[in-house]
Amino acid sequence: MPLSPLRTALLGLSAIAPVSADLRPLSTDRPDTTESPYTVDAGHYQFEMEIGSWTRDGREREYSLGELNAKVGLDDSKDLQFVLPFFTHVSGGEEGFGDIEVRLKWNLWGDDGDSTAFAIMPFLKLPTAHGNLGNGKYEGGLILPFAFKGPAGWDFGTEAEFDLNAGKDGDGYHPAFLASFTSSHDLTEKTGVFLELVSILSADPASDWEAYFNTGLTWEVAAHWQLDGGVRIGLTGASTDFTPFLGASAKF
């Protein structure tokens, strides 16, 4: 049976930039919200892209194209990341580039496949968004991802995230807290499924509790190449209602 055009293109790209068999397995910060505690191998690059997503929130509609997380391995336990949201369009016609995030991931243990792994991940958001796509403020925080292997082939991850965000009403900065729990399991040699719950609480009086159920599939196209797709579903009135998405990741 002939290969699909997409699979043919991906295999062709992987042949152009082959990777060493000594590299650690591909571990990505997508498609779930829970970040991975594993870093990119020293001197190598990893690119994780949300190819596209579409959001429905009440009467509001939004779509994004090409949000890229570009990573470089600094040493055996650290990588530097740049999150670049290339294009977003929201109801009313506002569209363009979003806010850049700069992140440093430092794995404290488990980077080489131990039964548990933990990392610390400070980040800074830069106010680079076009027009009203951002709030024009610097924001930042600290992410603490933890992963562990479970029974019957299940892998688990959890995350605590502490943010300092600008108030929605312009009244200074407020702390916010995100907690998440994710589980994943292989369906076949090349495909897997994930299930995730996310909770977001903010001290901003203008913000209410958000909660999400996220699920989707991953597909290993080739060594260190992965496609993913899924949906994020809001569980509270303040949550974004519904966001299907498609993504891809690769390490070189």
pLDDT value at position 4? 54
Give the span between the Cα atoms of 14 and 33, in whole angstroms: 26
Give the pLDDT score at 171. Answer: 86
Q: Are 163 and 177 in contact (CB under 8 A)?
A: yes
pLDDT tens for each residue of 96-117? 999 999 999 999 999 998 899 9
Residue-level pLDDT at 16: 43
pLDDT value of position 113: 83
Range list of β-strands (E), 91-223: 95-96, 100-109, 116-126, 139-149, 155-166, 173-186, 191-202, 210-222
How is residue 32 written in tokens?
């779930």
pLDDT, position 101: 98
For residue 10, pLDDT beyond 50: no
Q: How far apart are CA 85 and CA 246, in angstroms?
A: 15
* Average confidence score pLDDT of the chain: 93
pLDDT at residue 14 in the model: 46
Q: What pLDDT digit, counting tens, does each position of 186-236 carry? A: 999 999 999 999 999 999 999 999 999 999 999 999 999 999 999 999 999
Q: Is the per-residue pLDDT at 58 higher than 60?
A: yes
Going by pLDDT thresholds of 50, 70 and 90, the confidence category of residue 30 is very high
Model confidence band, residue 19 (pLDDT cutoffs 50, 70, 90): low
Question: Does the pLDDT of residue 244 top 70, yes or no?
Answer: yes
* pLDDT, average across residues 36-62: 97
Predicted pLDDT at 169: 87
**Residue 154: predicted pLDDT:** 97
Per the model's pLDDT, the better-predicted residue between 170 and 134 turns out to be 134
pLDDT at 45: 98
pLDDT-based confidence at residue 21 (cuts at 50, 70, 90): low
In this structure, are residues 176 and 165 in contact, taking their beta carbons and an 8 Å threshold? yes
Measured CA distances, 211 to 155, 201, 203, 235 (Å): 22, 9, 15, 5
Q: State the Cα–Cα distance between residues 8 and 245, nearest whole angstrom.
A: 22
Handedness of CA 93, 98, 99, 103 (dihedral sign): positive
Closest CA to 139 of 108, 107, 161: 161
How many whole angstroms separate alpha carbon 136 and alpha carbon 167?
12
From residue 56, alpha-carbon distances to 53, 90, 249 in Å are: 10, 10, 25
Tokens linked to 168: 């929605």
The partner residues of 82 in beta bridges, in order of sequence, read 70, 102
Distances (CA, A) of 51 to 66, 86, 90, 184: 5, 10, 17, 22
- What domains can be seen in the chain, in order of their start residue? 5-251 (2.40.160.40)
Residue 92's pLDDT is: 82
Q: What is the pLDDT of residue 50?
A: 98
Contact yes or no for 88/115 (Cβ under 8 A): no
Spatial distance between the Cα atoms of 103 and 105, rounded to a whole number of angstroms: 7
